[in-house]
A = this chain, B = another copy of it.
Amino acid sequence: MGDPAKPLRADAARNRELVLETAYATFAAEGLSVPIDEIARRAGLGAGTIYRHFPTKNALFAAVIEHRLQQIVTAGRTLLDAGEPAEALFGFIQAMAVDWGAADQGLHQVIAGDGIDLDELAPAAEAQFLSLLGELLTAAQQAGTARPDLTVREAKAIIVGCQAVQSHTPDVADRVITLILTGLRAKP
């Protein structure tokens, strides 16, 4: 049913994607304080072009995070559909912290605070993310691998914790996250 927004011209759409990818890579590698000009330079665009697509730097954050969360949700749903409900939740948390969060300074800064609030920034994506997390959690609880009294908010808090671990001490992160997850499996 018809995108309400006018469809972008082909080159504009391409530029939007390019900005998004460049911004993600840059924020992930160097944190959120990278200047817009630097992102423009890396994308081979003018700064004005970025502002045409994203009216403020915060809007760019929002779009990047939204994009990222959508990828995460997609990957999580794949895991869920793979038919291993018992381990999907744990695999997802581990993957989110270790594989995806490995170099993700920017994502971690956003998720862990730094004055930026995910719920304000990208409420729709956040809702989808929580919904997926709920499904993963329920599946694991029904399979008997996760504590039955665990809530979605708690599961998200644990993800935040695991990402902090990954970002701060990458070399022991794998083991520590495994330990943390142990606590989620224990019977009440």
Q: Give A contacts to B, CB under 8 Å.
A: 30-31, 33, 105, 108-109, 111-115, 147, 150-151, 153-154, 156-158, 160-165, 167-169, 172-173, 175-176, 179-184, 186
Tell me the number of copies of this protein.
Answer: 4
Per DSSP, chain A at the interface is helix
- Between-chain CB contacts (< 8 Å), 7 pairs: A105-B113, A112-B164, A112-B167, A150-B179, A157-B165, A157-B168, A161-B176
- Look across to chain B and name the residue whose beta carbon is closest to the beta carbon of A115: B31
Is A160 touching B164 in the complex (CB atoms < 8 A)?
yes
Among B30, B113, B183, B186, the residue within 8 A (CB) of A167 is: B113
Q: Are B172 and A153 in contact (CB under 8 A)?
A: yes
Which residues from B are CB-within-8-Å of A157?
165, 168-169, 172-173, 176
A186: min CB distance to chain B, Å: 5
CB of A166 to closest CB in B, whole Å:
9
CA distance A176 to B33 in the complex (A): 30
Measured in the bound complex, the distance between the Cα atoms of B169 and A160 in whole Å is: 9
Asked if residues B164 and A163 are in contact (CB atoms below 8 Å), the reply is yes
